[in-house]
């Protein structure tokens, strides 16, 4: 009898350096183990290695104005073979992304405002073979606390 197993490991570290500065990071390792090639086993489509590392600041005072928040994250994904139908199977190259955000809390009106972006370096990449590439994505948000 054939056995197919997936195995992996994920390690996360979050550390608040002081009242306003934090660092975070994680690493993931994933692998599929199969006794022999079997075309009926679904494609795994997961990179074996990936990691990210980030810095964040909260409740900062900038230019005499309080309650600023920010974050910056670097993410790397190892290249891997994406398998689907024959026309949508191929190699996904290694990729890296830089994401960031800056925000302001306004407690008086129970609100927070944020401008953020993913893939700030506008690296035209994707995670699906044959799919369109995606560049930078920037957005703004307003959050309101009801109570």
- Using alpha carbons, select from 121, 120, 53, 50 the residue that is nearest to residue 79: 50
Cα 126 to Cα 86: distance, rounded to the nearest angstrom = 18
Among 62-66, 99-103, 133-137, 142-146, the range of highest mean pLDDT: 99-103
Cα 54 to Cα 118: distance, rounded to the nearest angstrom = 13
102-128 pLDDT tens trace: 999 999 999 999 999 999 999 988 877
First to last CA, the chain: 58
6, β-bridge pairs: 32
- Using alpha carbons, select from 106, 119, 109 the residue that is nearest to residue 76: 119
Cα 126 to Cα 137: distance, rounded to the nearest angstrom = 13
pLDDT at 62: 86
Mean pLDDT of 60-67: 90
**Phi, psi at 53, each rounded to 5°:** -145, 140
Model pTM score: 0.84
Mean pLDDT of 5-18: 93
Take residue 31 and report the two structure tokens written for it.
């692998």
pLDDT at 39: 59
Cα 20 to Cα 74: distance, rounded to the nearest angstrom = 20
């Amino acid at each position: 009898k054939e056995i197919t197993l997936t195995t992996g490991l994920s390690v996360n570290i979050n550390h608040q350096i002081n009242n306003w500065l934090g660092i975070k990071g994680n690493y993931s390792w994933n692998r599929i183990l199969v006794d022999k090639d079997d075309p009926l086993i679904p494609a795994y489509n997961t990179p074996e290695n990936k990691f990210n590392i980030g810095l964040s600041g909260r409740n900062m005072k900038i230019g005499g104005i309080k309650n600023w928040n920010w974050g910056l994250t670097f993410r790397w994904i190892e290249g891997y073979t994406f398998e689907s139908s024959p026309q949508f199977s191929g190699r996904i190259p290694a990729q890296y992304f830089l994401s960031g955000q800056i925000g302001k809390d306004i407690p008086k009106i129970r609100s927070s405002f944020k401008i953020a972006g993913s893939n700030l370096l506008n690296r035209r990449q994707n995670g699906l073979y044959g799919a369109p590439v995606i560049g930078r994505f920037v957005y703004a948000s307003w959050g309101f606390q009801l109570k």
